[in-house]
Amino acid sequence: MVDIPHKLPAVAPSTESALRVRLRRVRELSASVLANPTTVLGFVLIVAMISMAVFAPLITEANTPDPYQMPRDWGALNEPPGTDGFLLGTTNTGGDVFYGVVWGARTSLRLSLIVVGITVLVGVLVGSVAGFRGGKFDEILMRLVDVFLSIPELIFALAIAAVLGPSFGNIILALAVVFWVKYARIMRAQVLHVKANEYVDSARIIGDSGWNIYRRDVFPNAITPIIVQATMDMGHIVLVGATLSFIGLAEAGLAEWGVLVSEGQAGISAGRWWASTFPGLMVFLWALAFNLVGDGLRDVLDPRTETAR
């Protein structure tokens, strides 16, 4: 360590208020996130892909009755990209690749939001109780976590989805069952770490309640790695979901990138590269974008760099 003297900011103006200081802090944090060009790239990609998902019905007309099913044109099989009406070509069953790419974004967004939402919620809850309360619950949980972590996540998810039967809903369920453990473990470790700080003791000394201490001291200081992990998992889960769909665990004909790649792979040897490539590229970009942003967040949210101790 180099002992650099402490930086003291200039005297604050008298119009200062807690709200302003916090807003400024948020501005500073976002500015430092956006100072990194690769994070910005990831951010732009995410915005683009999410817009695509949200505005899917405006970009291509929704298929009826189920918009998540690929529209089939049996009169236009294996059309190459650029064919009139099929920007990215069609599959060997007449599916519009462009439709699959656009609505696949919607499927992916739905998948990742639901899975990350459920797993973060459950994981944070379980990890918090285990770490903050300790005792028997903690011990049982940690044994359970050990069991979960000794099975590769993909194989575990695959087994569950296979038992439940092929459907996209079951993929969501399987991923949720597998992924919450990771969050529980991270949260528990974070809570234990934060709890050892003397500001938690200080809060107990002034007589604050356990819930308040959790809410005000423990949670806000423990949650940043979860945010980073969740961001990364937004990408990772689509990757795993696509893998499960690819091996046939989703409904046939679903507008989903993994299903599409699977449908198109047979044609690759015959030179029909487009049906697999475009959805495959989307999976790659989706995962990449969230990873870039997750990395950027980690650098900024790391309390060591944040507080410049």
Of the pair 169, 303, the CB lying nearest other proteins is at: 303
Among residues 4, 58, 163, 270, the one that binds other proteins under rule CB under 8 A: 4
Among residues 2, 58, 163, 270, the one that binds other proteins under rule CB under 8 A: 2
Of the pair 58, 206, the CB lying nearest other proteins is at: 206
219 to 258, contacts with other proteins by CB under 8 A?
220-221
Among residues 58, 163, 205, 270, the one that binds other proteins under rule CB under 8 A: 205
Among residues 202, 210, 247, 281, the one that binds other proteins under rule CB under 8 A: 202
Residue 28 within binding range of other proteins, rule CB under 8 A = no
The 3 state secondary structure assigned to the chain is CCCCCCCCCCCCCCCCCHHHHHHHHHHHHHHHHHCCHHHHHHHHHHHHHHHHHHCHHHHCCCCCCCCCECCECCCCCCCCCCECCECCCECCCCEEHHHHHHHHHHHHHHHHHHHHHHHHHHHHHHHHHHHHHCHHHHHHHHHHHHHHHCCCHHHHHHHHHHHHCCCHHHHHHHHHHHHHHHHHHHHHHHHHHHHCCHHHHHHHHCCCCHHHHHHHHHHHHHCHHHHHHHHHHHHHHHHHHHHHHHCCCCCCCECCHHHHHHHHHHHHCCCCCHHHHHHHHHHHHHHHHHHHHHHHHHHHHCHHHHHCC
Q: Which stretch binds other proteins (CB under 8 A): 12-20, 41-49, 114-122, 258-266?
A: 12-20
Q: Which stretch binds other proteins (CB under 8 A): 152-160, 176-184, 214-222, 281-289?
A: 214-222
Among residues 165, 198, 211, 270, the one that binds other proteins under rule CB under 8 A: 198
Of the pair 29, 77, the CB lying nearest other proteins is at: 29
Six-digit token string for 295: 């990395």
**Site mask for other proteins (CB under 8 A), range 149-178, x = bound:** ------------------------------
Q: Which stretch binds other proteins (CB under 8 A): 41-49, 98-106, 210-218, 269-277?
A: 210-218
Of the pair 54, 140, the CB lying nearest other proteins is at: 140
Q: Which residues bind other proteins (CB under 8 A)?
A: 2-9, 11-12, 14, 16-18, 20-22, 25, 197-199, 201-208, 212, 216-217, 220-221, 303, 306-309
